[in-house]
Amino acid sequence: MLNRAYSNRLRLLSYNIQTGLETQHYGQYLTHSWKHVLPHRARLRNLNRIATLLGQYDIVGLQEVDSGSLRSGFVDQTEYLAHRAGFPHWHKQVNRRIGSIAQHSNGVLSRLKPSDVAEYRLPGLPGRGVIVCQYGGDQGLTVCIMHLALGRRARLRQIDFVSRLVKSKSHIVLMGDLNCSCESREMRYLMESVGLQEFSCEKSTFPSWRPMRRIDHILVSDSLCIENAQVLDYSFSDHLPISIDILIPEHLKLAG
């Protein structure tokens, strides 16, 4: 039973799906490299297994999604997963187009209708972005899905951009592949500048077959109550998915 101060529970998941490719050891980055540019029937089968997991959640943030190019068999993976997992609302952000071969994207799937969805390019080299979903207007819930750069200098610039973007919001969730650890300078800056907290940094998310690094995160503002933060043993990518339940303050009306 929920505390009287909270009226609803939302289940959130963040997952870097590596465009639907399953990786079981480092050697496959080389031996299976052709799958990053050419279609393969195992990709769709793996997407179906991923959709089974996604269907258990209310809002899902996706990274490394393909938006309908040669390598995915011209399947828009965000749309495909939305339909397969029964989500009525979805949005994709294409961050890097490599002709007809690849369309690198972020995606969001949602059972609630957002009141607004915006997308932004992140500073640094082209190819990184953030999706900002607003539920219940400017004073409602803000959910950001992002995939940050590999280099620290670029990540710091990107985190500074995102921090300024959401700093005025009251109820914030930031999720995605941030490519840095809980103890990193970038994460400390992000949490301190916006007033965010993270739960359960004990378990790593990458690589999925032998997790050694926690680079996937869900951060939330102090105004939200969190339960069931966990890394899921669901290795159908080279990352493991992460999930939390958030309890929504009763005065927030999230309908779009």
Radius of gyration of the chain from Cα atoms? 17
Per residue in 65-105, pLDDT (tens digit) is 999 888 887 899 999 999 999 999 999 999 988 888 888 89
**What is the structure's pLDDT at 6?**
57
Domain boundaries in the chain? 6-249
Task: Write down the pLDDT at residue 51.
Answer: 97
Q: Please give the order of strands across the beta sheet that includes 116-121.
A: 116-121, 129-135, 141-147, 171-177, 216-221, 196-198
Q: Provide the CATH number for the domain formed by 6-249 in this structure.
A: 3.60.10.10
Work out whether strand 6-16 and strand 59-66 pair parallel, antiparallel, or are unpaired. Answer: parallel
Confidence of residue 19 (pLDDT cuts 50, 70, 90): confident
DSSP character string of the chain: ---TTEEEEEEEEEEE-GGG----STHHHHHTGGGGTS--HHHHHHHHHHHHHHTT-SEEEEEEEEBS-GGGTT-BHHHHHHHHHT-SEEEEEEEEEETTTEEEEEEEEESSPPSEEEEEEPSSSSS-EEEEEEESSTTSEEEEEEE--SSHHHHHHHHHHHHHHHTT-SEEEEEEE-SS-TTSHHHHHHHHHHTEEE---SS--BSTTS--B--EEEEEETTSEEEEEEE----SSSS--EEEEEEEETT-----
What pLDDT does residue 35 have?
60
Question: At residue 106, what is the residue type?
Answer: N
- Is the separation of the CB atoms in 15 and 63 below 8 Å? yes
- Both structure tokens of 171: 């109820």
Query: In angstroms, rounded to a whole number, what is the distance separating the alpha carbons of residues 27 and 24?
Result: 8
Quick: pLDDT tens for 171-205. Answer: 999 999 999 999 999 999 999 999 899 887 789 99
Is residue 152 scored above 90 in pLDDT?
yes
Give the pLDDT confidence of 28-53 residue by residue, as tens digits: 657 666 566 666 778 899 999 999 99
- State which of 25-29, 31-35, 152-156, 252-256 shows the largest mean pLDDT: 152-156
Please say whether the dihedral angle defined by the alpha carbons of residues 200, 201, 207 and 211, taken in this order, is positive or negative: negative
What whole-number distance in Å separates Cα of residue 10 and Cα of residue 248?
A: 8
Here the tokens at position 197 are: 């907290």
pLDDT at 28: 63
Taking 80 as the threshold, does the pLDDT of residue 119 lie above it? yes
Residue 252: pLDDT band (50, 70, 90) is confident
What is the token pair recorded at 219? 């951060």
- The percent of residues in the chain predicted with pLDDT above 90, rounded, is 63
The pLDDT tens digits of the residues spanning 215-239 come to 999 999 988 889 999 999 998 999 9
pLDDT tens-place string over residues 54-64? 999 999 999 99
Residues 75 and 51 sit within 8 Å (Cβ to Cβ): no
pTM: 0.93
CA–CA distance, 121 with 95 (Å, rounded to integer): 7
The residue-averaged pLDDT of 144-170 equals 94
